[in-house]
Structure 1
Amino acid sequence: MIFDECSDDDEVYVKLWTRFAVMSKVHALTLHIQAPPYLWFDVLPLVSRHLRTLDLEGLCVQLSFLDFAGCPALEDLKMNLRDISVEKILSRSLKHLSITKCCFDCQLHVSTPGLVSLKLDDLTGTTPFLENMALLETAYVYLGDSCEDFCLNYDSGVYCGPSNITCEKCDLFNENCGSVLVLLGGISSAKHLKLISEFGKFIFSRDLKYCPTFSKLKTLLLNEYWCEAPGLDPLACILKNSPVLEKLTLQLFSKGPNHKVEMKGSFSSMERSSAIPEHLNIVEVKCTVVDERILKVLKFLCAFDIRFSF
Structure 2
Amino acid sequence: MPPSGKERKSAPAVTATGHISDLPDQMLHHVLSFLPVQVAAQTCVLARRWRHLWKSTTGLRIVGLQVQDLRKFMNHLLVLRGRTHLDTVEIKFDRYDDDDDDDDVRYVNLWTRFALMWKVRVLTLHILIGNIVSQHLVTLDLHSVALPKAFLDFARCPQLVNLKIDDCFINVNKISSCSLKHLSITGCRSDLDFRVLVSAPGLVSLELEDFIGITPLLEDMALLEAACVNLSDRCKDVCLNYDSGVFCGAKDNTCKNCVPISDNCSSDCVLLGGISRAKHLKLISEIGKPIFTRDLKHCPKFSKLKTLLLNEYWCEAPDLDPLACIMKNSPVLEKLTLQLFSKGPNHEMEMKGSYRSMEGPSAISEHLKIVEVKCNVVDKRILKVLRFLSALNMRFSFQ
Please give the TM-score of this superposition, normalised by the length of structure 2.
0.72
- What is the aligned counterpart of 1:88 among 174, 183, 186? 174
Separation (CA, whole Å) in 2 of partners of 1:157 and 1:50: 49
Contact 1:114 1:133 survives alignment (8 Å): yes
**Larger helix percent:** 2
The question of 1:174 aligning with 2:260 is answered yes
Aligned match of 2:153: 67
Which residue number corresponds to residue 113 of structure 2?
19
| Per-residue deviation, 1:169 | 3.0
Per the alignment, residue 76 of structure 1 pairs with 162
The whole-number CA distance in structure 1 between the counterparts of 2:248 and 2:256 is 10
Distance of 1:213 and 1:156 partners within structure 2? 27
* SS of corresponding position for 1:65: coil
The one-letter amino acid of 1:154's match is: Y
- Alignment CA distance shift 1:27-1:286 (3 Å): same
Return the letter of the residue paired with 1:49.
Q
CA RMSD of aligned residues (A): 1.8
Equivalent residues in 2 for 1:125-140, closer than 5 Å:
125-140=213-228
| Secondary structure, aligned partner of 1:22 | helix
Equivalent pair of 1:192/1:219 in contact (CA under 8 Å): yes
Assess, with a 3 A threshold, how the Cα gap between structure 1 residues 158 and 181 changes in structure 2: closer, same or farther: closer
Q: What SS is found at the alignment partner of 2:257? A: helix
Distance 2:249 2:361 in 1: 26
Range with greater deviation from structure 2 (60-69 or 16-25): 16-25
How far apart, in 1, do the equivalents of 2:252 and 2:175 lie?
35
Runs of 4+ residues deviating >3 angstroms: 155-158, 164-167
How far has the Cα of 1:157 moved from its partner? Answer: 6.4
Moved more, 271-280 or 211-220: 271-280
Aligned partner letter, 1:256: G
Deviations 1:199-236 (A, max 9, x none): 00000000000000000000000000000012001000
The amino acid of 1:88's aligned partner reads K
Q: Distance in 1 between matches of 2:357 and 2:287?
A: 34
**What is aligned with 1:304?**
392
**What is the distance in 2 between the residues matched to 1:197 and 1:257?**
17
Give unmatched runs, 5+ long, in structure 1: 34-38
For residues 235-261 of structure 1, the C-alpha deviation after alignment (integer angstroms, 9 at most, x for no partner) is 000000000000000000000111110
2:256 counterpart SS class: helix
Give the paired residue count: 300
The equivalent position to 1:50 in structure 2, one of 136, 145, 148, is 136
Superposition deviation, residue 84 in structure 1: 1.1
After superposition, residues 24-39 of structure 1 pair within 5 angstroms as 24-33=118-127, 39=128
Query: Residue 6 of structure 1 corresponds to which residue in structure 2?
Result: 96
Structure 1 contact 143–198 (Cα < 8 Å) conserved: yes
Give the Cα–Cα distance (whole angstroms) in 2 for the partners of residues 179 and 69 of structure 1.
23
Deviation, structure 1 residue 282: 0.5
Q: Which secondary structure state, in structure 1, belongs to the residue aligned with residue 238 of structure 2?
A: coil
**Separation in 1, partners of 2:124, 2:335:** 37
Residue 156 of structure 1, CA deviation: 6.9
Deviations 1:128-157 (A, max 9, x none): 111010000000000001100011112576
CA distance, structure 2, for counterparts of residue 291 and residue 166 of structure 1:
38
Q: Which amino acid aligns with 1:230?
A: P
- Once the two structures are superposed, the pairs formed by residues 1-310 of structure 1 within 5 Å of their partners are 1-7=91-97, 8=101, 9-33=103-127, 39=128, 41=129, 44-106=130-192, 107-155=195-243, 159-161=247-249, 167-170=254-257, 173-177=259-263, 180-268=268-356, 270-310=358-398
- Contact kept, 8 Å, 2:244 with 2:317, in 1: the verdict is no
CA distance in 2, matches of 1:243, 1:217: 8
User: Higher RCO, 1 or 2 (CA under 8 Å, sep at least 6)?
Assistant: 1
> What percent identity do the matched residue pairs reach?
66
Structure 2 gaps of 5+ residues are 1-90
More displaced 10-residue stretch of structure 1: 86-95 or 176-185: 176-185
The alpha-carbon distance between structure 1 residues 265 and 157, as it changes in their structure 2 partners (threshold 3 A), is closer
In the TM superposition, what is the alpha-carbon distance from 1:2 to its structure 2 partner?
A: 2.3
Higher deviation after alignment, 268-277 or 197-206:
268-277
- Larger strand fraction of residues: 1
Q: Which has the larger radius of gyration?
A: 2
Alpha-carbon separation, structure 1, partners of 2:202 and 2:280? 16
Counterpart-to-counterpart distance in 1, 2:302 and 2:245: 29
Change (3 A) 1:166 1:246: farther
Which one is further off, 23-32 or 219-228? 23-32
**DSSP-derived class of the 2:114 partner:** helix
Distance 1:19 1:269 in 2: 61
